[in-house]
Amino acid sequence: MITVFAAASLTAFNLVCAGNTHQSGLGAEPDAAYRIEYRIDLATKRFCIDDCSAVTPIANVRTDKLVFSQVEVDTISHRELGQDVADRSTGEHARFILTGRGVRQRMIKWIGRCERAPFTGFPASKQRF
């Protein structure tokens, strides 16, 4: 029989992802290592990153991957495309942001691997309303 604690540990966990970033285009910086720690609660479909300053909904919980966020804005005055995904089978992590057009275009990619870790919880809300 699964205890309440064991069931919670299946749906609430941290995910520590590390790898390298690559930038191209306007203002590109040299490749560098990265580390991101996600706090995830699949039961409520919420997550936060690193210091957990904002708890937000997971964009899409699928059997094959977690899509933390997805942005698609493409107007005359503004272009921003991005996605943050972790593969649930392989542990592969991919995150990218594309902004601008033409000579003003910039892309940042994070490519790495994730490992599951114990859930450290979400901070208590400090909102008054």
Q: Which pair of structure tokens corresponds to residue 81?
A: 């495309």
> What is the full per-residue pLDDT of the chain (129 aa) written as tens digits?
444 444 456 899 999 999 999 999 878 899 999 999 999 999 999 999 999 999 999 999 999 999 999 999 988 878 899 999 999 999 999 999 999 887 788 999 999 999 999 999 999 877 777
Amino acid at 5: F
Quick check: is 107 in a domain?
A: yes
Non-local CB neighbours of 87 within 8 Å, separated by 6+ positions: 64, 65, 93
Among residues 83, 102, 72, 92, the alpha carbon closest in space to that of 18 is found at 92
* Range of the structural domain that residue 65 is part of: 10-117
Amino acid at 112: G
- What is the pTM (predicted TM-score) of this model? 0.84
55: domain CATH number is 2.40.160
Domain count, the chain: 1
Quick check: is 123 in a domain?
A: no
pLDDT for residue 8: 53
Instruction: Look at the block and give the residue holding tokens 């272009």.
Output: 79
What is the rounded CA–CA span in Å between residue 35 and residue 110? 10
pLDDT tens-place string over residues 84-116: 999 999 999 999 999 988 778 899 999 999 999
What is the rounded CA–CA span in Å between residue 98 and residue 72? 10
